Structure formats: C-alpha cells, structure tokens
Amino acid sequence: MWLPCGCTSKYVASSFARRTLASYLHVSGRSRCNVAAFMPEAAGLEGVSGRAALRELSVSNSESFWAAVARHRLCWSTPFHTVQDCDLSRGKIKWFEGGKLNVSVNCLDRHVHTCPERVALIWERDERGWCCTDELLEMTCRLGNLLRRHGVKRGDCVTIYMPTCPLAVASMLACARIGAAHNVVFAGFSADALAERIRDAQSSTVITVNQGVRGGKVTELKKTVDTAMQSCPTVKQVFVAMRTDNPVTMTARDIAMEEVREQKEMLKEDVVCEPAVMNSEDVLFLLYTSGSTGKPKGLVHTQAGYLLYAALTHRYVFSYHDGDVFGCVADIGWITGHSYVVYGPLANGATTVLFESTPIYPDPGRYWDMVERLKINQFYGAPTAIRLLLKYGDQWVNKYDRSTLKTLGSVGEPINTEAWEWYHRVVGDGRCPVVDTWWQTETGGICIAPRPSDPDAEIVPGMAMRPFFGINPVLMDTEVIVFGFLQGEVLTSNNTSGALCMAQPWPGMARTIHNNHQRFIDTYFQPYPGYFFTGDGAYRSEEGYYQITGRLDDVINVSGHRIGTAEIEDVVNQCPAVAESAVVGYTHSIKGQGVYAFVVLKKGIDVQEADLSRQLNGMVSEKIAKYASPDFIQFAKRLPKTRSGKIMRRVLRKVVESDLEGLGDLSTLDDPAAVQEIIQGHEKLL
C-alpha cells in the first residue's frame, strides 16, 4: 500500500528493509569488520572481508549479492520472488521479477519522510547565481496529476525536450510516478532528430519549454518542437513551460504548464498523486543513442534493476555519504544525466545539482565558482571540458575555495594523462581521488572505475581500472572474423588488448532496443555468443587493470557525444551534388575527436567547394545537431575501396591522423593511386 505524500506517518520503513535483508542473509549478529562498515547490506555475507573479497563474491555469487542489495537499497511494495532470469545468448535480461515498486517513491517520498530538511535539487541556472528548490515531490505530484488528467496512461511514452531544469526532472519523475515511460531528447538536437525519436517511440505527448538559455544564448525549443510536429502526426498534446519571459505562439495542441503568472495549469493540481505500482521489469525510459549503422536506437531501461544499479554505483564509485552535495554537470538529455543527475543521487536521498550552463560562461571559473557557492562534495564532468579549462590556466581554479571537494569524476571518453593530472593536481589540490568512469547508455551505470576499492588503493591516471560489484569484464580476441563478424576466444592473460565484453548480466543493463529486439541481439550478443559486447576495445595491464582504448566500430565521440559516422554520411549523401561520402573521427585537442568528411561529387557538378562545405555543415546541424557538423570536409575524386567495393575506412583514419607509416596492407585496394590522391588532398586542407 502507498501512503500519500505529505502524510506524517512513517512511510518508508527503512528498518523494515533492513530486517528483510537481515533475515535473507541470516545475519548472525557478528559484525563483519570493514566490509560491513563500508557496505551495510554486506553484513553477514559469509567469509567476506575486504572490498576485493566482496567484489569477488558479487560475481561468483551474484544472485545473493544483488538480492541483498536490492532488498536493502530499494523500497518495495511487494518483494521480488526471482532474483534474475537471464540468457545473454538470447538477449533475455530480467531482474527482480515478482517485485513491485515505484521509482518516484524511491527517489522522493521515502526521503521526504526520513530527511525532510534535506534539499533534493539545486538548480544552477545559466545566469550566474543559483536557485534552490526543495519541492520536488510536490512538483512531481502536480505534474503526474496533470499528465493523468490529460489522458497519459501507464505504459504510454512521453517525450521530454527540455534543458536541464527542475521541471525536466519533475517531468521524468512524474512519468515514473504514473507508470509512463519517458523519452528525454537532448535539447541540442534538431527538429528532424527530435521528430525521428518521437515517431520511433510512438509518443503522443511532448513536454517542452518556450525557450532554452545556455551560455547566454537563447534557443527556440518550442519552435523546434513546432517544426518537428509537422512530421509527427501521432502527437496529441504538447505541454509548454516558460523558461524565459518571452511568449511563444501556442497552437490548439499546446497546453501552457507554467506555475506562475496567469497560466496556472499545474497549480490546479493536487499535491498528492497516487503512485502507480510498477513491476520490476516495466519500462522506465527509452533513451536514443547512436550505433555504427542505421538509425539511432531507443535503448530500453526498466524500473528496479536500473534504479538499484544507478544508486549503488553513485554511492560507492563516488564515496557518496548522506548529506553530501553531488555535482554532475551532464545534461539530462544523456544517460549520465539520467543516472547521475537524477536517479542515482535521488534514490540515495542526495542533494543533486542541475547545471544548465557551460564550463566557460560567463568565464572559465564557472565550475569552481559553483563548487564554492554550493559546497559541492563530488564533482563529475567530461574530459573535453577539463581539456578546455586547462588551457585557460590555473588562476580560474585557484580563485575559488574547493575544500569541500572529496571525489572528482570523469566520464564519456578517454581522459588523457595531461588532463587527468591537471584535474587531480589543480582542481583537487592533489588530495581528491579522480575516478575515470567507463560505461555506456547500454550499461545503465558505471561498470569500470577506480573505486570502490580500499580508500588508499592506487589510481593510475587515465585508467578506468576496476570492475564494479557484479561486473565481470573479459577481453576477446578481435582477430578472428567469421562470416564478416568479429568472433574470438576469451583472452585470459594480462598485459593484453581485446574487445571488451561482459560475461555476466547485471541489473542496470538495457533490456532491449525499442521495437527491435533483433537489432539488440545482433548488436550486443551475436558478435560473441553468450557475452555482452560493448563495442569498445580495452587493454588489461599486468596488474589486471582496465584501460579503454576506444570504439571498435564506426562510432565516434565528439566532446563526449556519441555519433555514428553513418548517420553523418546519410545526411551528407542527401545533398544532390554528392555522389558518396565517408566520415571518420580524428584526434582533436579539446573535443577528443573531431568529424572529418571525405566527399565525392557527382560527375559534371561545378560548385565552389567553400559554398558546398557551408551547405553540408548546415545540413548536418539541421538534421542531427551542431556538434555532429564536420570540422573538415575534403573533396576527393574517389575514395579508396577494396576490390569488392567497400570503402577502406581504416586507410582514411590513418590519413587524417597523418600516420602514413601506419597505412598497413594496401594489397586489397582496387586502385592504390586513390590513396595518394587522398593524402595530397588532406595535406592541402591542413
């Protein structure tokens, strides 16, 4: 039974949760030295002493580990009867079946009752200065009621196209409260990209704001939605909140949602909203991400396993302690925002920071000014921003008091040693551990990171290092290709590189690709049957630590944003003057990778290359997003191809890195002269 929010009786019996855990684990009453102190739910696990042993047990006896943690960390309305039912070879992943819960109750109500004085969200708006909000439960309930009144039902999918702001978080949680799935689309995506995601998700409701504000610039989000609507006939209603004072044109489909001023739709709603009782494996959200081929895929995450994994990794990777202020500067439009701005911190009852701005607005001291003002304890950001700030110099950091910082995190792309060391030495004053966290949209939460481990365990710069509890990484041979697919054996030795796979399921992993389970199997489980294939390569050191070496497929990472080269080529090829194109990534000193496009024009086309470049850049920004727009466009007469007609991307990648020594075997090339032309064209462009 759910008690309504605002009710003063004790709603979440954390003591009850503890009791069930204790009985499950047959706690004997003897305390379990440091492990018990570190992870209370581990108390009683036989023979466990030390975090390494706990990790070992989380893999060798993963069912009892996850069952214990799930009972302890989540609040259930009905306990689960089956811990897991997984078969990786078929892409079948189910956790905690039989269990019922509500994610918003786990993120809000239970903490409102146990620590009502604690602030849930701090909104660091684009304008310097900040605004504090602690009425997230009320806002979520009103929104949940509003959505319900407008016909949004359990199982529906609501698209959220908003900047990082409290109402966006409340929208996500409101969906969770009433059992609808959300589909957050990054507010930097174009109308076409938004429309494609709305159509694929079969969303009939959209939530947006009139305008966004980032880095002092206004973006016309509502107008972008209007454009997207022209190709989304199934959308019945668009809720529009006001982020700025500028009115926007409303249509019959639009519903003004603002709390203040004349439009009081949300204020009409009750502050009590009965939470839907959800099954563990009901869908919590879809999140679109790029693959190496075809359209972006809508990865599906479900309720209990995802929430548990986000919460547990948040607590242990960052050494989060109750009362800490957690500052993850990711946008809510990415998985990092989902797991470490919203769900992980809120499930742990943390105060979480919503960062709406950019690292250099209004000046390069923005992050550290915020750390000082908000007294942030854990700071989590992307290497691209660290590299950018490093160039501005130490004075922007040293101006501010960063003594509250305890852990620094890095995510999204490899962090080079120079950036790592600057982050550690300057930002963290050499006293905060830097955790380089490797994970993906698909994994739901952090899988490899230096912590948890013993507090004084070594951290090697630029290495993600150690698998999290329950994560069992393996490296696979990438040399063997059968029927055009990578296939290979598990590499057991250390000091070796291979394809990074996971040998065991974990609760946070994605369950399917929306409407395309076959693609899910083909992409992740077919390359190495019985294993989850990440798409990344990794190196395992002599000591057994992991270092991510980068994608093995045609996915590139621009400022931590993942994009398939095929998606960009698709847009470029739509230009009537273009015969074909090939896009590759190249090393970029700030962005990590930049976009380099080779373009072959149709015969007889006579255009100014500079004009066409501008046109192609515009097309990519318009069809995908600005960050995907090529940094370089090289026009070529032809592309290097194999005799069977496949573009040799490997060769193009070497050319753009100016690694002519590394061109490798060119014997399968159809016409070796094509490579020389490409090299000359590249040199001219630089």
Query: How would DSSP label each residue in 338-404?
Result: IIIIIIHHHHTT-EEEEE-S-TTSSSTTHHHHHHHHHT-SEEEE-HHHHHHHHHH-THHHHTS--TT
Give yes or no for residue 463 binding ligand WT7 (CB under 6 A). Answer: no
Structure tokens at 187: 């507010």
Q: How far is residue 175's CA from residue 303's CA, in Å, rounded to a whole number?
A: 12
Residue 435 Cβ vs ligand WT7, minimum distance, rounded to whole Å: 9
CB of 194 to ligand WT7, least distance (A): 18
Of these, 41, 324, 436, 554, which contacts ligand WT7 (CB under 6 A)? 436
Nearest residue to 211 (alpha-carbon basis) of 166, 247, 262, 263: 247
| Residue 439 found at the interface with ligand WT7 (CB under 6 A) | yes
Sign of the CA dihedral with 267 first, then 268, 270, and 275 last: negative
Question: Is position 412 an interface residue for ligand WT7 (rule: CB under 6 A)?
Answer: yes
- Which of 183, 437, 512, 559 binds ligand WT7 (CB under 6 A)? It is 437
**Nearest approach, Cβ of 496 to ligand WT7 (angstroms)?**
18
Which residue lies nearer to ligand WT7 by CB, 126 or 331? Answer: 331
> How far is Cα 112 from Cα 118, in angstroms, rounded to an integer?
8
Kindly tell me which of 138 and 200 has the beta carbon lying closer to ligand WT7: 200
Q: How far apart are CA 256 and CA 189, in angstroms?
A: 23
The CB-of-156 to ligand WT7 minimum distance in angstroms stands at 25
Task: Point out which span in 265-273, 334-342, 488-496, 644-652 binds ligand WT7 (CB under 6 A).
Answer: 334-342
Structure tokens at 418: 């120079």
Using CB under 6 A as the binding rule, whether residue 557 contacts ligand WT7 is answered as yes
Instruction: Report the number of secondary-structure helices (H) and strands (E) in the chain.
Output: 22, 33
Residue placing its CB nearer to ligand WT7 in the complex, 44 or 333: 333
State yes or no: residue 567 binds ligand WT7 (CB under 6 A).
no
CA 88 remoteness from chain centre: 22
The reply to whether 413 sits near ligand WT7 by the rule CB under 6 A is yes
DSSP state of 484: T
Rounded least distance, CB 383 to ligand WT7, Å: 8
DSSP assignment string, 264-310: -TGGGS-S--PPP-EETTSEEEEEEE--SSSS-EEEEEESHHHHHHH
Q: Please tell me whether residue 335 binds ligand WT7 under the rule CB under 6 A.
A: yes
Looking at 144-152, 307-315, 503-511, 533-541, which segment touches ligand WT7 (CB under 6 A)?
A: 533-541
Stretch that binds ligand WT7, among 191-199, 201-209, 514-522, 530-538 (CB under 6 A): 530-538
411 binds ligand WT7 (CB under 6 A): yes
- The least CB distance from residue 16 to ligand WT7, in Å, is 34
Q: Does 336 contact ligand WT7 by CB under 6 A?
A: yes
Q: Which of 290, 237, 200, 198 is nearest to 625 (CA)?
A: 290
Amino acid identity of residue 444, one-letter, is G
* Closer CB to ligand WT7, 205 or 352, in the complex: 352
Comparing CB distances to ligand WT7, the nearer of 356 and 436 is 436
Residues 53-92 touching ligand WT7, rule: CB under 6 A, are: none
> Directed axis angle between helix 62-73 and helix 304-317, to 10°?
90
- If one asks whether residue 634 binds ligand WT7 (CB under 6 A), the answer comes out as no
Instruction: Out of 275, 381, 414, 444, point to the residue binding ligand WT7 (CB under 6 A).
Output: 414
Among 102, 203, 348, 441, binds ligand WT7 (CB under 6 A): 441
352 within 8 A of 376, measured Cβ to Cβ? no
**Is the CB of 169 or the CB of 555 nearer to ligand WT7?**
555
Please pick, from the candidates 551, 591, 623, 682, the single residue that binds ligand WT7 as defined by CB under 6 A.
551
**DSSP three-state, residue 458:** coil
State the Cα–Cα distance between residues 120 and 413, nearest whole angstrom.
29
User: Of 76 and 306, which CB lies nearer to ligand WT7 in the complex structure?
Assistant: 306
d(CA 72, CA 19): 9
* 71-79, 89-97, 331-339, 599-607 -> range binding ligand WT7 (CB under 6 A): 331-339
Contact 101, 77 (CB under 8 A): yes
Q: How far apart are CA 68 and CA 43, in angstroms?
A: 10
- Of 69, 68, 31, 35, nearest in space to 49 by CA: 35
Q: How far is the CB of 169 from ligand WT7 (least distance, A)?
A: 18
Rounded to 10°, the helix 221-229/191-201 angle is 60
> Which residues is 500 bridged to in the sheet?
475
Q: In terms of CB distance, is 45 or 328 closer to ligand WT7? A: 328
Q: Which stretch binds ligand WT7 (CB under 6 A): 120-128, 273-281, 408-416, 623-631?
A: 408-416
Number of residues interacting with ligand WT7: please give it, by CB under 6 A. Answer: 22
625 near ligand WT7, rule: CB under 6 A:
no
b/e code 610-630 from CB counts within 10 Å (16+ = b) = eebbeebbebbebbbbebbbb
For ligand WT7, the closer of residues 240 and 465 by Cβ is 465
User: Which of 154-162, 353-361, 431-439, 638-646 is the region at the interface with ligand WT7 (rule: CB under 6 A)?
Assistant: 431-439
How crowded is residue 650: how many other Cβ atoms within 10 Å of its Cβ? 14
Of the candidates 62, 79, 96, 92, the residue with the CA atom closest to the CA atom of residue 13: 79
- What gap in Å lies between CA 570 and CA 269, rounded to an integer? 45
- Contact flag: residue 548 with ligand WT7 (CB under 6 A): yes
Beta strands in 503-648 (DSSP E): 512-513, 532-540, 546-551, 555-558, 561-564, 578-588, 592-601, 632-636
From 41, 138, 536, 554, residue interacting with ligand WT7 (rule: CB under 6 A): 536
- Tell me which stretch binds ligand WT7 (CB under 6 A): 151-159, 226-234, 345-353, 529-537: 529-537
Report the residue number, 275 or 298, with the smaller CB distance to ligand WT7: 298
Closest to 313 measured CA to CA, from 466, 97, 503: 466
**Strand, coil or helix: what is 585?**
strand
Q: Does 384 bind ligand WT7 (CB under 6 A)?
A: no
Q: Does 593 bind ligand WT7 (CB under 6 A)?
A: no
Please choose, from the candidates 148, 158, 470, the residue with its C-alpha nearest in 3D space to the C-alpha of residue 284: 158
Q: Which is nearer to ligand WT7, 99 or 381 (CB)?
A: 381
- Give the shortest CB-563-to-ligand WT7 separation in angstroms: 9
Distance CA 583, CA 639 (A): 11
Which one of residues 535, 537, 585, 630 is an interface residue with ligand WT7 (CB under 6 A)?
535
Query: CB under 8 Å to 282, separation ≥6 — which residues?
Result: 155, 179, 302, 303
464, 471, 501, 628: which one contacts ligand WT7 (CB under 6 A)? 464
Nearest approach, Cβ of residue 535 and ligand WT7 (Å): 6
- Which residue, 69 or 563, has its beta carbon nearer to ligand WT7? 563
Q: Supply the minimum distance, in Å, between the C-beta of residue 609 and ligand WT7.
A: 32
Q: Which range touches ligand WT7 (CB under 6 A), out of 112-120, 350-358, 438-446, 647-655?
A: 438-446
Q: How far is the CB of 448 from ligand WT7 (least distance, A)?
A: 8
Site for ligand WT7 in 287-306 (CB under 6 A): 289
Output the smallest distance, CB 251 to ligand WT7, in A: 33
Contact between 300 and 519 under an 8 Å Cβ cutoff? The reply is no
Residue ranges binding ligand WT7 (CB under 6 A)? 289, 334-336, 411-414, 436-441, 464, 534-536, 548, 551, 557, 562
